[in-house]
Chains A and B, each alone.
Chain A
Amino acid sequence: MSATTPRTYVPRNVSVADIERLVGMGHAREGAPADSIAGVTPRLVVEPASTEEVSEVMKLASQAGLKVAARGGGTKLGWGNPPEALDLIVSTARLNRLIEHSAGDLVATVQAGINLDNLQAQLAKAGQMLALDPPGHACTIGGVIATDASGPLRLRYGTVRDLLIGITVVLADGTVAKSGGKVVKNVAGYDLGKLYTGSFGTLGIVVEATFRLHPLPEAVRTVVLNVRTPAQAGEFVGAIGRSSLVPSALELEWAHNAETAALYVGFEGIAPGVEAQAEATMQLAKTYGECHTVEAEEAQDDIWRRLRELPWQHSEGVGLKLTCVPTAVPSLLHALLTGTGSNRCLYLRARAATGVILAVMAAGAPADFAARIEELRRVAGQHGGSLVVLHAPPELKRAVDVWGPVGDALPLMRRVKERFDPNRTLNPGRFVGGI
């Protein structure tokens, strides 16, 4: 996107002062290049401080026909298609409170703009955690929900959908609507929390969320095994699956041109428990290759902090997310590793027991890139999975459909969007099928 100048949209009849009347002086401003999303600069940025203010802002925005995007920590704003249009960014920066932590009930309610690390630090005081480890330390809860971001721990605890028990959202027209509640078990009404999770801000702006929490583990252990081929990695992962071991995370890391790949198996629990599991894992791993156990807490922290981050963070490459059934991970890795030239893989990471692969690929010419994506999509599709282009320069993103095919439910997804946001106020064009 470097070649062209970002275009600024001119919203109808709305000035900074108009918005300031809703949120107070100094909490709305002109957009700047730093606010751009995939090269599109908003004219206005607002930082509301309450659900009511978000609602007032959305009423005004939808009446004026502004196109709106919500912003949390800004760590994953590049995901999805570039926006078709963008007039106003609603930042959740001032919606950053832990509203309630009911430790005895293992439940916490937060505002959407709270920083995840900050939240974890507060929960840790009571020996608890929100069992999510998405990439991006600046990320906010709202952003994690909207992008359905997850990390290695999903193997044990699941993803946002498994932990979110209540949510409040402001719809495009300013309607404030909640679903779920503050108790872990609850089937009253539709579970809209799941609908909003991973909807990339196209249905509403998340303002509040309630999560079920977990106790912080007393002890952790990490077993590292070196493997030579994807098939060997697959065999080991299969053996773990058939055993009665309960790993919290199982990550495979494969750097380009490396002779071997490392498989990291993480355990959480009480000290004697993780020791026993690590020991059993070592016994199993020995027959596959060189292995060792990491006990020092700091060393383990380093490993998992690294594995949680997106591998393309500090790379020139393109970032892909592929999914498949777990047993097909070796086939997909094989397909990725056979890429050459501008399509070669620089780095691979696999949540091997879940069926998620994060790949960093060299960024080639748009036509080559598109052909390669097509090819990889076919392989992923054969194994029930998908490929999403998460991180790429806009000219490559525009060469492909970043989401890929979504199957026969796409018309239904469009109907959902039409009902929730008929005027396409929120994040137009960014989601699947141009939603």
Chain B
Amino acid sequence: MGIEGIGARALRKEDKRFITGKGHYTDDHKVAGMHHAAFVRSPHAHAKINGIDKSAAEDMSGVVAVLDGKQLTGDGIGNIICGWMVHSKDGSPMNMGAWSALATEYVRYVGDAAAVVIAESYEEAKAAAEAVVVDYEVLDAVVDAVEALKEGAPQLHPEAAGNLIYDWEIGDEAATDAAFDGAANVVEIDITNNRLVPNPMEPRSAVAEYDDAEDHFTLHTTSQNPHVARLVLSAFYQVAPENKLRVIAPDVGGGFGAKIYIYPEEIVCLWAAKRAGVAAIKWTADRSEAFMTDAHGRDHVTKAKMAFDADNKITGFKVETIANLGAYMSLFSSSVPTYLYATLLSGQYNIPNIHCNVKTVYTNTVPVDAYRGAGRPEATYLVERLMTTAARQLDVDPAELRRTNFVQEFPHQTPVIMAYDAGDFDATLDAAMEAADYKGFAARKAESENNGKLRGIGMSCYIEACGIAPSAAVGSLGAGVGLWESAEVRVNPVGTIEILTGSHSHGQGHETTFAQVVSDRFGLPAENVQIVHGDTDKVQFGMGTYGSRSGAVGISAIVKALDKVEAKAKKIAAHLLEASEGDIEIKDGEVLVKGTDKKLGWHEVCLGAYTAHNLPEGMEPGLKEGAFYDPTNFTFPAGCYICEVEVDPDTGVSTIQQFVAADDFGKIINPMIVEGQVHGGLAQGIGQALMEHAVYDDAGQLLSASYMDYQMPRADDLPDFVVSHHETLCPGNPLGIKGCGEAGAIGSPPAVINAITDAIGHNNLAMPASPHNVWKAIHSA
């Protein structure tokens, strides 16, 4: 390993520009003749549009166009798609309602766009948008998924009777029911996974340029997957053919899933630039628009029960979940509460029988889709709260109940599709208990009691699935795309290297981590390696970054391409050094013949590839290789989190006293970056557990629509995290990487809630455990 190779705590190459304010984000992009878009958004959660009077707005200064949904669909712009087909248990395809980027007849959530104003300046566009008069006939709204399924509830889409999108199941129901018949004990739970607003620091933004001479579009946008955006914009929305559309996702300030999707605003800006005949249109969400229109996360209501035999071994697990998908089906919304959720219900445990039924529902709220963890936090919250509830009911230590049921042998086939390839669940549980001084808890609890405080400890042993995903497998489950990744390694004549990757970095540190992998391979300084990403004109194709896939899938593609580069470089070196290819070794920037003092500098071999003066017979000049990597399985990061809280019974305030994370992410490239990912994930998970809650009132108005009412975690809400790693390599990819981007957010909420329920002495507590909710729980006991 070179000094900046795999395992080094290399400082992030990208931080200089971020910290000094030199990043280049979409909103920083300005071009001559750029106009601005402002959307006319519905103030109602549900209404029929009887007409739109644009005349006043059209007459205002700077306004070049006021456009509506009928014009958009009239120009042949396609409806917004959902990229994953899910079938109901009766075999029928999901009931998907039509979603036009600008509403045509109905608006279905507060913020749904009915029209757009294009004007010379941002202020003019905003002012004119207020002057557009939409004649709304207000209809009854429903925001709660359980209510939306009831008879007589307001109906959102003619395609989805009863607001039901699909009624899906997984697992063997009869076998699971039989397990309950023979159970020694049954533990039940009713839980809600609270709805969240993603809140990336950079709001969404788009700059659409249109070159009429070339009939060519360029879109700068805040995307986690610019190639997928281009594909969808071309193939489904008919904005332009792919060769006439370049999509660039420059620096992106956080995504958390919310920037995977292709939103109405990007489509509208592209379409409107050509239609209004302007060189470019910019739109940047303000924070209120971000709250109202970014896809939200979670929002599940679940009833579940678990069967145990007399030895406290789990024999069956039965789950019924209702998931709120909002007013329209967002790009991956259908997969989140099904294949990314129910397939993880086996947790770290040997569970012979699982059955899960999921109903997804339309409501008059903003669409819900993948948000850091996507389905796995919901599964983990359910399984891990249930395990702790069971331990209390069965009167065994929560750690022992988990240990009794851990999967010990790998590979392990669960009854819900996933086949775990490797892991060591005892190791992470032991490490976490040791770090948390689990044994000393009773003394600390007594100490808190002396101060009038309630103290509790809670754990969560999570497993999740990353590295999405084997293309054929997800294809068979309904995915509309393959989930491989691409890489190209371009070695320059002087030996420096450019890596072109289909992964996209929006906070993950790829420019550093990916360079370390190259550095490690050839012994070059990471400084000599440049990472190129986020531009469809530079990188041929890629599937982007989400689901913690960039390490397990993106780096694996790079490794494959590096293998090819290494093989060719060795051939050239063997030829130049008159040695056999098998004796060539590349180390510390030099190319050596093993066991001799014959060597060349790495740069000499590279230059040789490009001068082509003396290449092996028949070899093409140059040193550039590409690869596509399609994973063979998901990867399975797992670990144990332990949280200790103190609750003030007078106010309901919970204070985290310590938080321990012991994770198994497989091979770690840069421990500092991985710890940063864990810290951020824990902050988000603790945010969900204690603070964050997207609340709509019954009329469909978003009450938590700003930071005055939506509580984000702040540094002083969080303890110093105690983070450690246990490395069992993933057997499925070349470096043994599992993924670390979401684990913190997946594993932490149940640890926090299990700690608070331990403190207050009963399980009846709603998430988020806000002071008010905890106070109510204490007083309901």
**Do they bind each other?**
no
On B, residues with C-beta under 8 Å from A are none
On A, residues with C-beta under 8 Å from B are none
